[in-house]
Structure 1
Amino acid sequence: MTATPGDTEAESPAEPDSRRWVVLVLMGLALCVVVLNNSALNVAIPALMRDLRADLPAVQWIVDGYSIVFAGLLMAAGVWSDRWGRKRLTLGGLVVFAGASMLAALAREPWQLIVLRGLLGAAAAFVMPGTLSILLHVFDRKERAMAIAVWSGIAALGVALGPILGGLVVDEFGWAAVFLLNVPMVAVIVLTGVFFVRESADPASRPTDAVGAVLSVLAVGGLVFTVIEFGASGRLDALVITGAVATVLAGVAFVRRLRTAKYPLMELSLLADRRFGGAAIGNMLLFFGLAGALFVLTQRLQVQLEMSPFSAGLAVGPVAVSVLVGTALSPSLGRLVGVRATVGAGMMLSALGIGGLGLAHSYPVIVVALVAAGFGFGIATPVATSVLVSSLSDDRASSGSAVNDTMQELGWALGVAVVGALLNRVFQAGGGAETLQQAVDLAVAAPDGAAMVAQANAAFDHAAVVSLAVAGGVSAAGAVLAARLLPARLQGAP
């Protein structure tokens, strides 16, 4: 349900929680762990392709196996978090996340890693909604915008540190080491969180719609499966058609379930709220663009520019630094020029940077595009999240934030699936078939493989330009949508 400003105010803590700053850091770090897993994995993709003999569609499944389960379970996890306790499920999810990470480091076949990435996604689904809703219960309305900005900024450290730390450990120990980066941080968060985080739950607990949760996973998974398989084959064969039909059926059944279930996973009326719908859908399209761009760029740096994993991680660093700067400035810009202008301009700047990456053929130009993409992303997302939170009541904090998180993860999964499939399809159509894998082998394992890299370079370059242009275009659509739907200013803002 949607609360009025008065309702939300009445449910805020009467007195500030003295432990709220420690809780803020812990919840930011918990989200950072989830982000770090994906950003570190990006720089390990060429090494994965070489060591596991994984082709591009298999790598897309390794990346998207996480996001499919994550997005599919987030709404159910948000309801369970409200019902059974946010602290309990957030810290429990982190423990499972660390265990699955250690198992993933032992994988020896692509399918094993795909399954374990799915388990990581399930664990992350129980972590993410609780981090935001816990903050909403320890910070009053006056401090929430600042808390959300700090929470987003700490999480952005995962974007910054992931490629650098990932590249460093891949260079020294191989791709499996990227999964062990999460374990020490999880141990610190869980041990500290047990003592500093207070339990909270929805006093009016309600049943969870298990059927809706299953349909959600089937709809999201079917869509990503269809996109990836079509990108691999380039034909509307029986597998692709079956996937498309299953996706439509699951999607229709899921929407029908939301309309008819006594306790639906989400309330469709949320999306009818201009504030919630504009922020959530805009964020989804922005995440689509950024995920697709990073998926292409980390391969381009290692295959075309012949960088090592560590060098590629450092090369991606400017996007994360600019996200941090944009996040720090976001609340002030929101107050100064308003919600609509801040979110719309930030998303459009990010879209231009993403599209510009396709036209950048030297690293100095890539840096400019990365800074634009990251700065715009950092400006837009905290303000958009504040708008979204303003439309939620405190007793449905986890459930509502889980809807937003679901749409962001859906955007991330589709970004990797669609942009990756387009990269693969255009690459093969341009005469690059059977050469990208060889180029990866040589670029990663043999510095003297420049001749084979050059053979695939032209086809790969054209494919990167096309796929990154699509990623930027989708993000630009999110900017336009947000500018049309979001209010000029939040109610009660100066």
Structure 2
Amino acid sequence: MSGSAPPVISAARARAVLVVVALALMTVVSAVSGLNVALPSIARDTGATQTELTWIVDAYTVVFAGLLLFAGALGDRYGRRPLLVIGLIVFGSAAVVGLFTTDPQALIGVRATMGLGAAAIMPTTLSVITTSFAEEQRPQAIGVWVGMAGGGAVLGLFGSGILLEFFSWSSFFGLNVVLAALALIGTLAVVPTSVDADAPRLDLVGGVLSLVAVSGLVFGIIEGPTRGWGDTLTVASLSAGLAAGVGFVLWELRRRDPMLDPRLFRIPAFGAGSLSITAQFFAAFGFFFIVLQYLQFVLEYSPLQAALALLPLPVVLMPVARNAPKLLGRVGFRVLGPVGLVLMAGGFGVLSFLETEMRWPLFVGGIVLFAAGMGLAGTPATTAITASLPPEKQGVASAVNDTARELGSALGIAILGSALNQAYRSSMAEAVTALPGPAADRALESVAFTQSPEISRLGDAGQRLVAAGHHAFVDGVGTAVLIAAAGLLVAALTIWAWARPTPHPAARPAPRDEARTDADRGLEHAHD
């Protein structure tokens, strides 16, 4: 069946499809948020350093982001349903291994394999929606999809929090296994097969370049605080990532049938929507990574208490996301998208004043602003991307949308985690001078070590070190959220300038008249 038209399915089956792909989406999103709850427990039980904790989270998102475009093209060519099935099997199998893994380095490998499965899952979820629902029904279906992304984050948070209240941190992987199994059963039962009969050959070179670009940049950013920014490996990694990124763009421009045509970003709604998604997930997942450690390491909350502290987030995010399509129809993406990002930035500005003791009005106020902003910005950005391309290119649209999410997540975890690590190490440098060399190094590498029995045996000196660790970690949190706020404000201004209401003829990338007409129709729809 060609991807040029949506499959003919009943309204009831379309709703069932939406439920299944939303569950699959929640499965891959919860794998990030849920692990964040477990990080302090992992650090205490395995001795993982702050850098290793960052890698345990980001190995998943690096592979995920680096392979999404290639996976989207794979689904277009060979079928979205088979790709979804394979992805769920790989993801679930890796999670089973994670149940029995206790070494930090092995956990990084497990997470990378789960990212491989997730890369096959996520592109199919949105493209299945866009090829199963009529055009007039898509914005509402996409709104549900966006809300379920938030729902997946919430499920991961609270599911892991509850499990860790009664079991070890490895039980988090059991949640991944159950969700993947349920999504697999649902996929086999109701999801139709859709393919693009005219899909081009797979772009292996482009796939490798995209993976090297993402992994190179993230490796350098994560390792910089510990290895040093002038370290040969750090510089080489960052350089390789940048070179691969440039090489990817040049390679795709030369191809007759590119995996991702860079000229698509000259369509204002497509480019601005992609930037908005990247900025949102850069800030959101970087924040999840640091705030759950703050709540447990500094405030000494249990995993469940830490998850419950974030309850205002879904309470605000999900209803706002459901109603965002109505506002989009009234004011357009150019207004609603930047407003959402500015609200998110305001929330992070408030959260930059966090201290070593909980200040509930400040904490809840910041979370509410952040959640409302993300709810407003998410659906308009995704709609702008998907509406900019014709039905037969929805695999590309969904892959770009998902890549923007995961690239933003990977960079957010890496950059905000790196900022946290750098600020923590700088603040702790003087406090650890009285410790023996190996102990001083471990205290610099992880705040978890300052709370270990080895430090508690030092008496008053140990208590002073614990307090210093708390203050140093809070300094890192403040630095990280201000970086996130600055990035969101820059993105908001750029989107407002970029997503102009009327496209210039030069912004039309496709050489054929009919393709230009499709893009123009999508652009007009995105700005309705």
For residue 318 of structure 1, the aligned residue among 312, 320, 328 is 312
1:416-435 alignment runs, 5 A limit:
416-431=413-428, 434-435=442-443
Structure 2 SS opposite 1:296: helix
Name the aligned partner's letter for residue 393 of structure 1. Answer: P
For residue 261 of structure 1, the aligned residue among 252, 255, 278 is 255
Residue 372 of structure 1 corresponds to 369
For residue 30 of structure 1, the aligned residue among 24, 35, 40 is 24
Residue 178 of structure 1 corresponds to 172
For residue 482 of structure 1, the aligned residue among 495, 504, 508 is 495
Residue 474 of structure 2 corresponds to 461
- The Cα shift of 1:278 comes to 0.3
- The Cα shift of 1:452 comes to 4.4
Q: Are 2:117 and 1:123 equivalent residues in the alignment?
A: yes
- The Cα shift of 1:444 comes to 8.6
* Shift in CA distance, 447/370, structure 1 to aligned 2, threshold 3 Å: farther
- The Cα shift of 1:399 comes to 2.0
Residue 389 of structure 1 corresponds to 386
* Shift in CA distance, 266/235, structure 1 to aligned 2, threshold 3 Å: closer
What is the CA–CA distance in structure 2 between the aligned matches of 1:251 and 1:341, rounded to whole Å? Answer: 31
Q: Are 2:511 and 1:491 equivalent residues in the alignment?
A: no
Asked if 2 retains the 8 angstrom alpha-carbon contact of 1:322 and 1:374, the reply is yes
Runs of 5+ in structure 1 lacking a partner?
1-7
Residue identity over aligned pairs, in percent, reads: 34
Once the two structures are superposed, residues 257-295 of structure 1 have per-residue CA deviations (whole angstroms, 9 ceiling, x without a partner) of 112234322111111111100000121122111122121
Once the two structures are superposed, residues 235-264 of structure 1 have per-residue CA deviations (whole angstroms, 9 ceiling, x without a partner) of 401121221232233223222211223432
What is the CA–CA distance in structure 1 between the aligned matches of 2:160 and 2:263, rounded to whole Å? Answer: 41
Q: Which moved more, 1:72-81 or 1:329-338?
A: 329-338
* Shift in CA distance, 115/415, structure 1 to aligned 2, threshold 3 Å: same
Residue 3 of structure 1 corresponds to none
Q: Are 2:213 and 1:219 equivalent residues in the alignment?
A: yes
Q: Which moved more, 1:374-383 or 1:446-455?
A: 446-455
Q: Which moved more, 1:190-199 or 1:55-64?
A: 190-199
- The Cα shift of 1:102 comes to 1.1
What is the CA–CA distance in structure 2 between the aligned matches of 1:444 and 1:357, rounded to whole Å? Answer: 28
Residue 100 of structure 2 corresponds to 106
What is the CA–CA distance in structure 1 between the aligned matches of 2:477 and 2:351, rounded to whole Å? Answer: 9
Name the aligned partner's letter for residue 403 of structure 1. Answer: V
Residue 337 of structure 1 corresponds to 331
Name the aligned partner's letter for residue 481 of structure 2. Answer: L
Name the aligned partner's letter for residue 460 of structure 1. Answer: F
- The Cα shift of 1:148 comes to 0.3
Once the two structures are superposed, residues 40-61 of structure 1 have per-residue CA deviations (whole angstroms, 9 ceiling, x without a partner) of 0111111111112110111111
What is the CA–CA distance in structure 2 between the aligned matches of 1:376 and 1:332, rounded to whole Å? Answer: 15
- The Cα shift of 1:357 comes to 1.5
What is the CA–CA distance in structure 2 between the aligned matches of 1:279 and 1:343, rounded to whole Å? Answer: 8
Residue 167 of structure 1 corresponds to 161
Q: Are 2:483 and 1:470 equivalent residues in the alignment?
A: yes
What is the CA–CA distance in structure 2 between the aligned matches of 1:407 and 1:453, rounded to whole Å? Answer: 39
Name the aligned partner's letter for residue 248 of structure 1. Answer: L
- The Cα shift of 1:441 comes to 4.8
- The Cα shift of 1:141 comes to 0.7
Name the aligned partner's letter for residue 480 of structure 1. Answer: L
For residue 46 of structure 2, the aligned residue among 52, 57, 60 is 52
Structure 1 SS opposite 2:131: helix
Name the aligned partner's letter for residue 492 of structure 2. Answer: A
- The Cα shift of 1:355 comes to 2.9
1:407-422 alignment runs, 5 A limit:
407-422=404-419
Once the two structures are superposed, residues 87-142 of structure 1 have per-residue CA deviations (whole angstroms, 9 ceiling, x without a partner) of 11112211211111111121121111111111111101111111111111111011
Asked if 1 retains the 8 angstrom alpha-carbon contact of 2:278 and 2:408, the reply is yes
Name the aligned partner's letter for residue 192 of structure 2. Answer: R
Once the two structures are superposed, residues 378-419 of structure 1 have per-residue CA deviations (whole angstroms, 9 ceiling, x without a partner) of 111111111111111211211221122112211111111111
Structure 2 SS opposite 1:207: coil
Structure 2 SS opposite 1:106: coil
Asked if 2 retains the 8 angstrom alpha-carbon contact of 1:230 and 1:421, the reply is yes
Residue 136 of structure 2 corresponds to 142
Residue 66 of structure 1 corresponds to 60
Q: Are 2:151 and 1:157 equivalent residues in the alignment?
A: yes
- The Cα shift of 1:27 comes to 0.8
Residue 291 of structure 1 corresponds to 285
Q: Which is higher, the Rg of structure 1 or of structure 2?
A: 2
Q: Which moved more, 1:437-446 or 1:196-205?
A: 437-446
- The Cα shift of 1:14 comes to 6.9
What is the CA–CA distance in structure 1 between the aligned matches of 2:228 and 2:313, rounded to whole Å? Answer: 32
- The Cα shift of 1:32 comes to 0.5
- The Cα shift of 1:472 comes to 1.3
- The Cα shift of 1:437 comes to 6.0
Q: Are 2:473 and 1:440 equivalent residues in the alignment?
A: no
The two structures have a TM-score, normalised by structure 1, of 0.93
- The Cα shift of 1:442 comes to 6.4
What is the CA–CA distance in structure 2 between the aligned matches of 1:158 and 1:100, rounded to whole Å? Answer: 19
Root mean square deviation of aligned Cα: 2.3
Residue 439 of structure 2 corresponds to none
What is the CA–CA distance in structure 2 between the aligned matches of 1:67 and 1:37, rounded to whole Å? Answer: 10
Q: Are 2:202 and 1:208 equivalent residues in the alignment?
A: yes
What is the CA–CA distance in structure 2 between the aligned matches of 1:46 and 1:352, rounded to whole Å? Answer: 28
Structure 1 SS opposite 2:60: helix
Q: Are 2:235 and 1:241 equivalent residues in the alignment?
A: yes
What is the CA–CA distance in structure 2 between the aligned matches of 1:262 and 1:86, rounded to whole Å? Answer: 23
Residue 514 of structure 2 corresponds to none
* Shift in CA distance, 19/446, structure 1 to aligned 2, threshold 3 Å: farther
What is the CA–CA distance in structure 2 between the aligned matches of 1:430 and 1:452, rounded to whole Å? Answer: 12
Residue 438 of structure 2 corresponds to none
Structure 1 SS opposite 2:170: helix
What is the CA–CA distance in structure 1 between the aligned matches of 2:453 and 2:379, rounded to whole Å? Answer: 41
What is the CA–CA distance in structure 2 between the aligned matches of 1:300 and 1:357, rounded to whole Å? Answer: 12
* Shift in CA distance, 444/365, structure 1 to aligned 2, threshold 3 Å: farther
- The Cα shift of 1:17 comes to 4.4
* Shift in CA distance, 15/29, structure 1 to aligned 2, threshold 3 Å: closer
What is the CA–CA distance in structure 2 between the aligned matches of 1:379 and 1:436, rounded to whole Å? Answer: 39
For residue 199 of structure 1, the aligned residue among 178, 193, 201 is 193
Once the two structures are superposed, residues 172-197 of structure 1 have per-residue CA deviations (whole angstroms, 9 ceiling, x without a partner) of 21111111102222222222221211
What is the CA–CA distance in structure 2 between the aligned matches of 1:26 and 1:252, rounded to whole Å? Answer: 37
What is the CA–CA distance in structure 2 between the aligned matches of 1:56 and 1:472, rounded to whole Å? Answer: 23
